[in-house]
Structure 1
Amino acid sequence: MAAIFLMGATLAACQSAGDGLDVAGAEKDKSDIERVSFEDLRGYCPTVQLREGTAYFNVYEGDETSQNVRYQAAITDVTRQCKYENGQLAMKVAVAGRVLLGPQGSSGTVKLPIRVAALTGGDEVLYSEIQPYTLEVNASGATQFIYTDSDIRVSQPDARNIVIYAGFDEGPKKAAATN
């Protein structure tokens, strides 16, 4: 019984100390609190997905064989952050991954073609950009990267039907030159 009383007194002392959250003071000063709109509270932020075949990117020295791989890049995670501003949905998409050197690889600069696209459920393209992401790789193992596209803005959706795609994409294949 004495142990329970002692524990209760200790907890009460901890709660009355000045080190904790001052609820009364928080009511007086709200200058550091960011205003949150109703739209932000709705909680709709489109998901980010990888399309089949876009999670890996290989660069070869010559023929496309495993012995000719210069480097291989892989996307390991994607995420997003959303905010409603002036009738638009502003999104920031982050793509994380790593680059491994292959048998023909060496340390230096590599360029990864990363596309981020926003589409409606009916496949209407709202946003689509390919950015060459440059990073330095070294011969001592995997090099990790995080690519961020923070320029995505679409009209405020009236339905929850937007999908964000992220992945490696070299863009349209160039036609062979004819003589």
Structure 2
Amino acid sequence: MYFRALRLAGLCAAASLLTACSMGGLMGGGGSSSAQTLQNATPNPASVAQAQTSALPVIATECPPIKVRPGSEAMFYYGGGQVGSAKSLQYQGVIDETSRNCVVSNGLITVNMGVVGRVLLGPAGSQSSVNAPLRFAVERDGQAVFSEKYTIPVAINPPAQSAEFVKVVENVAIPYLGGEEITIWVGFDTRG
């Protein structure tokens, strides 16, 4: 409690010192009209065009959404052909989080995308290692422009009954003019 009061007193003293300072020299002078000029400035088309051509690649303002493909949110593996039997479940995989970021440059949108998931042992499970089959895909105006299946090894160390996995796919380049509908898909792909 004493330290909190001391810290509060220090912050109040610093604030009062700062309010007593004059910012005139830092902000271009007290009564200068340059601040007014900048405040009321409107860019002309030529200055906007010049700024756009000399700008560095920028992060896309509308990075495509990343979605888990319906029906591929989880994977289940059963033993002895007992599909759907809770007692026969050896393991299941789930996707916990998805993420992506994008950079637009030279008519391309470059996407980095990733997932975090878990593999959990079921009542019949005793695996120490499981391969999680994940598929990342990108659709542009309804057409697949990228699709890749990855096998992620997941080690489950006893006595743990679950383990987390992370997969990141980097630098997927997609032609981008602006206005296209782009969707990033991810999900388990258990097909052979």
TM-score (normalised: structure 1):
0.71
| Alignment deviations for residues 91-144 of structure 1 (CA, whole Å, 9 cap, x no partner) | 1111111111012212411111100100023x2001000111111013423211
Q: Percent identity?
A: 25
1:86-97 equivalences under 5 Å are 86-97=106-117
More helix by share: 2
Structure 1 portions without partners, runs of 5+: 1-5, 16-22, 24-34, 174-179
Runs (5+) with no aligned partner, structure 2: 1-9, 20-25, 27-53
Return the match for 2:92 from 56, 65, 72: 72
Question: Would the alpha carbon gap of residues 14 and 88 (structure 1) be closer, same or farther in structure 2, given more than 3 Å must change?
Answer: same
**Which runs of at least 4 in structure 1 moved beyond 6 Å after TM superposition?**
none
Whole-Å separation in 2 of the counterparts to 1:56 and 1:49: 14
Q: Which residue is equivalent to 2:178?
A: 158
* 1:146 Cα deviation from its structure 2 partner: 1.4
Match of 2:146 in 1: 127
The alignment status of 1:58 with 2:76, answered yes or no, reads yes
- The number of residue pairs the alignment matches comes to 149
Q: What CA distance in whole angstroms lies between the structure 2 residues aligned with 1:92 and 1:41?
A: 12
Q: 1:77 to 1:41 in 2, by over 3 A?
A: closer
Matched residue type, 2:77: V
Matches within 5 A, 1:29-68: 37=56, 40-63=58-81, 64=83, 65-68=85-88
Say which SS state the counterpart of residue 105 (structure 1) adopts: coil
Is structure 2 residue 142 aligned with structure 1 residue 138?
Answer: no
Distance 2:125 2:95 in 1: 19
SS of the residue corresponding to residue 43 of structure 1 reads coil
For residues 132 and 60 of structure 2, what CA distance do their matches in structure 1 show?
35
Q: Is the 8 A contact 2:59 2:103 kept in 1?
A: no
1:10 corresponds in structure 2 to 14
**Residue pair 2:152, 2:165 contacting (<8 A) in 1 also:** no
1:8/1:75 Cα in 2 relative to 1: closer, same or farther (>3 Å)?
A: closer
The equivalent position to 1:103 in structure 2, one of 120, 123, 134, is 123
Q: Distance in 1 between matches of 2:164 and 2:87?
A: 23
| Alpha-carbon separation, structure 2, partners of 1:147 and 1:86 | 27
Cα distance in 2, alignment partners of residues 12 and 36 from structure 1:
41
CA positional deviation for 1:86? 4.0
Q: TM-score, normalised by structure 2?
A: 0.67
Given that 1:44 and 1:160 are in contact with CA atoms closer than 8 Å, whether structure 2 keeps it comes out as: no
Distance (Å, rounded) in 1 between the aligned partners of 2:77 and 2:18:
60
**How many angstroms apart in 1 are the aligned matches of 2:119 and 2:11?**
54
**Counterpart position of 1:84:** 104
